[in-house]
Structure 1
Amino acid sequence: MRTLYHHPLSPFARKVRVALAEKRLEFGLELEKPWERRDEFLVLNHAGEVPVLVEDDGATVAGHGPICEYLEDAYPGGSLLGTDVLHRAEVRRLVSWFDEKFSREVTDLLVGEKLFKRLSGQGTPHAAAIRAGHANIHYHLDYVGWLTERRTWLAGDDFSLADVACAAQLSAIDYLGDVPWDEHTDAKDYYARVKSRPSFRPLLADHLPGAPPPKHYADLDF
């Protein structure tokens, strides 16, 4: 069986998990703690980062972007990019927004500071960074709400990789209880729809020892 090396709270590993499930591909999960820099894992990905996908035949693809593109090429059924060239461009634009801008301005400042710093022994959280993350998330949730007022899903009529990328980031932050849902009802309603998809539900079962999620985390109706 294909194997995905991941960490439960890595939004990029979560993105690939949902993409695999949306394509109805079976896979097993192998927990990896990137900060340990295991030699065996570094052989698979010299960058020492999750996710890494290993196929049944040993073929290895490292990195969430390359993995998702690989899945589209190798398993074209149930495309998460769509077929129209302009739609595909919009999906990729929004994927970039959440993988890069949202991650940099919000996830790194909240999940990175509050969780991964502690897990990797990199010191105490930086209070100013956390405050910035809490401030920045409002802008992004407003944008999610703006998009969903005008479209069925973020990039258009169909669920796409843009939604996967967005929800992966939000879910990691929601695990910490740091998403101000009550102030952004449009984004909340959108995320509730994503949470209800069968591909997404396994993420809601993730639990880190000593760091349980808030009660609403796995509640499909919040």
Structure 2
Amino acid sequence: MILISATPSPFARKVRIALMEKGVPFTLQNEIPWHADTQTSRYNPLEQLPVLIPDDADPVFESSHIMEWIEWRYPTPPMLPDAPNEALEAKQVQVIAEGVLDATVLLFWEMQRPQPSAEWAQRQLRKVKGGLTELNRRVGTREHVVGDRFGLADIAVIALLGNQDIVIETGMIPLWQAYAPDMAPWHELYPNLARFEALHRDRPSVRATAPVMFALTEKIV
């Protein structure tokens, strides 16, 4: 089984963590999806990563769908709580985390424009702040975001926070502050999330999948 990934991608990181937690062997194939040599379009008509290529099935794409596919094909250990209400809560956490990720990606593209739209940037920054604030509230003092074992909600939050580290490392915070002066590195604003990340950062699947920004050598906008 092959996972086509990108080294900084939080969406691919979710899948990597889940596969490692379940002990499912896979080969990692890293790409830059905007470069001319990408293989992504061969397997995903939407030309997005990640893409999971099973040995015995058609390619699977879109990270949330891949996570469901993995859970169905490899149910042990489960990534969802047993109680239906907790399973739904975990999926809601994933929705919030992915909403923040989507807004962060849109901000990245907007910042590439010669004259970014202030209104658009402010709207996306409200989503980033709103989502992180809600996740900070939900995490509270818990060891796990939902339930009593490591699972989908934890993975979603960890992937999001790793992405926010990339935001810091690539110097995006000062650009964001032009549109939202109260923006700051996430660990300064959200102490519950900072505690949660510190609690899990040495977990083998988390440590092994830490995001790394790639070098862009071709035009992407």
Instruction: Answer yes or no: same fold by TM over 0.5.
Output: yes
In structure 1, what is the Cα distance between the partners aligned to 2:40 and 2:189? 41
Check whether the contact 1:110–1:173 (CA below 8 A) recurs between aligned residues.
no
CA distance in 1, matches of 2:152, 2:115: 31
Q: Which residue of 2 aligns with 1:175?
A: 166
Post-superposition offset of 1:59 = 3.8
In the alignment, which residue of structure 2 is the partner of 1:93? Answer: 92
Q: Distance in 2 between matches of 1:196 and 1:186?
A: 17
Q: How does 1:96-175 map to 2 (within 5 A)?
A: 96-99=95-98, 101-104=99-102, 106-113=103-110, 123-124=113-114, 126=116, 128=118, 133-134=124-125, 136-149=127-140, 151-175=142-166
User: How many angstroms does 1:137 deviate by?
Assistant: 3.4
1:105-151 Cα deviation digits (max 9, x unpaired):
x422444445xx5xxxxx55837355555554333333222112264
Give the total of aligned pairs: 201
Rounded to whole Å, the distance in 1 between the matches of 2:73 and 2:158 is 24
Amino acid across the alignment from 1:203: T
TM-score, normalised to structure 1's length? 0.77
Aligned residue in 1 for 2:74: 75
Q: Which moved more, 1:44-53 or 1:136-145?
A: 136-145
Instruction: For residue 76 of structure 1, give the secondary structure of its aligned residue in structure 2.
Output: coil
Deviation at 1:92, TM superposition (A): 1.2
CA distance in 1, matches of 2:115, 2:155: 28
Aligned-pair Cα RMSD in Å: 2.8
Matching residue's letter, 2:191: T
Alpha-carbon distance change, 111 to 162 in structure 1, aligned in 2, over 3 angstroms: farther
Q: State the AA in 2 paired with 1:126.
A: P
Alpha-carbon deviations, 1:82-110, whole Å to 9, x = none?
Answer: 222111111111111212x2223x42244
Give me the whole-angstrom Cα distance separating, in 2, the residues matched to 1:198 and 1:125: 42
Shift of 1:33: 2.4
Contact 2:8/2:211 (<8 A) preserved? no
Q: What's the offset of the Cα at 1:23? A: 1.3
Cα distance change of structure 1 residues 205 and 108 upon mapping to structure 2, 3 Å threshold: closer
Alpha-carbon offset, residue 47 of structure 1: 0.7
SS in structure 2 of the partner of residue 4 of structure 1: strand
Could you list the per-position Cα deviations for residues 23-70 of structure 1 after superposition, in whole angstroms to 9, with x for gaps in the alignment? 122222212222247685323111111000112346421111221111
Q: Distance in 1 between matches of 2:94 and 2:42?
A: 28
Aligned partner of 1:12: which letter?
F
- Relative contact order (C-alpha < 8 Å, sep 6+): which is higher? 2
- Mapped to 1, the partners of 2:69 and 2:57 lie a distance apart of 15
Q: What percentage of residue pairs aligned between the two structures are identical? A: 27
1:125 and 1:4, CA in 2 relative to 1: closer, same or farther beyond 3 A? farther
Q: Is the 8 A contact 1:109 1:132 kept in 2?
A: no
Q: Rate the CA distance shift 1:37–1:96 in 2: closer, same or farther, 3 A.
A: farther
**Which sections of structure 1, spanning at least 5 residues, go unmatched?**
118-122, 211-222
Shift of 1:205: 6.2
**Aligned residue number for residue 186 of structure 1:** 192
Aligned 1:49-68 pairs, distance under 5 A:
49-57=48-56, 59-68=58-67
Distance in 2 (CA, whole Å) between partners of 1:199 and 1:16 is: 11
